[in-house]
Homo-oligomer: A and B are copies of this chain.
Amino acid sequence: MDKTLLEKFKDTLHTNGMKCTPARLLIFKEVYSSSEHFDADEIYFRMRREKKAVSRATVYRTLDLLVENGFVSRVNVGASQVHFENTLAQEHHEHLVCTQCGKIIEFSDKVIEKQQNLICEEHDFFPTKHNLIIFGLCDKCRKRNN
């Protein structure tokens, strides 16, 4: 994990008058230990397993804090829990979600982005965020089915 990122996080805490606590640092590191999607409970249980337990409430609170400060973003993949991902390196992307095996494929597409902007203009709408999920069957599941 990038050293400067942790420093940036500490700066953010500092400049916002928030305390730099062990719990927050541990959660931050956990969140940046992989580039996969995760939900709050995954972080919670991973940390328990690694004997770095923090309370569930603190996990939720810290994830909110990370989202608000741009270190993490919420991703909607149609699940019942909120999913997150760290914002390291990855630009905005959309998801293909296999409804059979749960596989998630990420993609991004300039044509769609552009077209969205056109549509927003047409409706006098100022876009801040968007979310596109395509549900269906991945190649393996489709083959498996027949």
Task: List residues of A whose CB falls within 8 A of some B CB.
Answer: 76, 78, 96, 98-99, 105, 107, 109, 111-112, 115-116, 119-120, 123-139, 142
Contact = CB atoms under 8 A, between A and B. Distances in A.
B105 A125 contact: yes
Nearest to A132: B132
A67 to B, nearest CB: 14
A123 B104 CA distance: 11
A75 to B, nearest CB: 12
Given A76-B76, A96-B120, 8 more contacts: A96-B127, A98-B125, A99-B128, A125-B134, A125-B139, A127-B134, A129-B136, A132-B133
A5 B84 CA distance: 42
